[in-house]
Amino acid sequence: MSAIPQADPLSASRLSSLQRSVKMLVSALAVFLLTGGDRVSAKSPDLNETQLQARLADPASGLRDFVALIEKSMITGEMSPVEELVDQQLILDRATDGIRIAGAGTMKDLFSDSTRQSWQQTGITRDFAGTNFRFLRVRTFKNRAGLLFRCAGENHALNFFSFTLSEVASRDYRITDIYTMGLNEYTSETLRRSYLHLAANLLGEEGRALTKDHGAVADSLDKVAAVSQLLKEGQWSEVLDACAALPPAVQNDRSVMLIRLQAAENYSITSRAEVLEDWLKAYPDEMDLPLKLADHFLTQERWDDAERVVTSLLERTGGDARLQLQLGNINYRRDRDKLLMQTAAARN
């Protein structure tokens, strides 16, 4: 069986249409950074935890200056100094590594070009701009060490990000990937999901076999891209309606559910709660969306559930004052509710 379906799937017009879809999808992924892939390159240049610790302890290494530059850029909103330090090619290589079937080269070029165009318009680190972005410590996630930062945005939005680094020359560092704790994945992993959907769309049965849904999202790629555009335009109700009209397998796709969640958060508390409960049914591991779920449990006054998630976050980060404050708030509100119930029972 041919790896590429018939009807000239890689024609210029089809590639142009898919390129627009990919650009919209990649652009939509950016909004999830402050909300909260299956492979990485076997030749990872990342500095390990021991190397990072040693360079932080050595003023001559320049790593402390690098950290200060990141913090200043994020806090002031002047993103160009940090954007120039991101190794876009390596992130794309991580996202696209490992597919060795007919047509994969063309597909990789299409995906990489579309992603770069999207990054040129939006930036990889744009959503950090103007936030209180502070370095905490070196921390390892998914066996990859990085510099862990706490990001506090508007309306007390909280997230944590780990920047993996390479040292291309003495005192010359590059950001090789970004781990988002709120999503429990690296940027390259997020991109890889979209890349595999594109493979399923372009590369026939071999491409479809690469995806967990065997191409269900790929069959709806144009519709998902259209939903992404609605999200970008702020049409929250329309996004929710459009997601509800997608096939069930597509509705449960992680990226689609994140689009739905972003719209629901801007639409109503009830809609947000519904999406998060649907998320838990599809993805039972609370640490795949910990910050959103912690807030959801607080809103629902599910104190034990909220405490469990925040405690796990404290362990993952190695400790954080804002999380400790949140944990104290949970305990206070739970004790207050118990006291109110005891008082009411005594009166009766």
Which domains occur in the chain, in start order? Answer: 12-189 (no CATH), 216-340 (1.25.40.10)
On the question of pLDDT at 124 being above 50, the answer is: yes
Higher-confidence residue of 100 and 262: namely 262
pLDDT surpassing 90 at residue 141: yes
Residue 345 clears pLDDT 90, i.e. is over it: no
DSSP 124: S
Mean pLDDT of 89-109: 87
Banded model confidence at residue 8, pLDDT cuts 50, 70, 90: very low
Residue with tokens 């076999």: 209
Residues of the chain with pLDDT > 90: what percent?
62
CA angle 163, 212, 278 (to 5 degrees): 80
Q: Rounded CA gap, 218 and 202, in Å? A: 9
Higher pLDDT, 197 or 328: 328
Q: Are 125 and 86 in contact (CB under 8 A)?
A: yes
Beta carbons of 182 and 279 less than 8 angstroms apart: no
- pLDDT over 70 (residue 18): no
Signed CA dihedral, 184, 189, 194, 199: sign only: negative
> What integer is the mean pLDDT of 202-228?
87
Residue 126's pLDDT band (cuts 50, 70, 90): confident
pLDDT, residue 256, reads 94
Percent composition of the chain: helix, strand, coil (DSSP 3-state, to 5): 65, 10, 25
pLDDT-derived band of residue 19, with 50, 70 and 90 as boundaries? Answer: low
Per-residue confidence (pLDDT) for residue 49, from 0 to 100: 97
pLDDT digits (tens, 9 = 90+) for 149-183: 999 987 768 999 999 999 999 999 999 999 999 99
Confidence at residue 274, expressed as pLDDT on a 0 to 100 scale: 97
User: What is the average pLDDT value for the chain, to the nearest integer?
Assistant: 86
Residue 40 pLDDT: 37
Confidence (pLDDT) at 2: 32
Residue 24 is predicted with a pLDDT of: 57
pLDDT of residue 319: 95
pLDDT tens for each residue of 30-49: 444 433 433 334 355 899 99
Query: In this predicted model, which residue has the larger pLDDT, 56 or 196?
Result: 56
The rounded distance, in Å, linking the Cα atoms of 253 and 217 is 7
Mean pLDDT lowest among 8-22, 115-129, 237-251, 324-338: 8-22
What number is the average pLDDT over the span 37-65?
Answer: 81
Q: Compute the distance between CA of residue 194 and CA of residue 34 in angstroms, rounded to an integer.
A: 19
Q: Report yes or no: 125 and 82 within 8 Å, Cβ to Cβ.
A: yes
CB distance 94 to 177 below 8 Å: yes
- Ramachandran quadrant class, 180 (left: phi over 0; alpha: psi -120 to 50; beta: rest): beta
- Per residue, what are the HEC states of 329-342? HHHHHHHHHHHHHH
Q: Which residue has the tokens 């079937």?
A: 101
Give CA–CA dist 134/149, Å, rounded. 5
pLDDT tier at 26, thresholds 50, 70, 90: low
Per the CB < 8 A criterion, the answer to whether 92 and 191 are in contact is: yes
End-to-end CA distance of the chain: 76
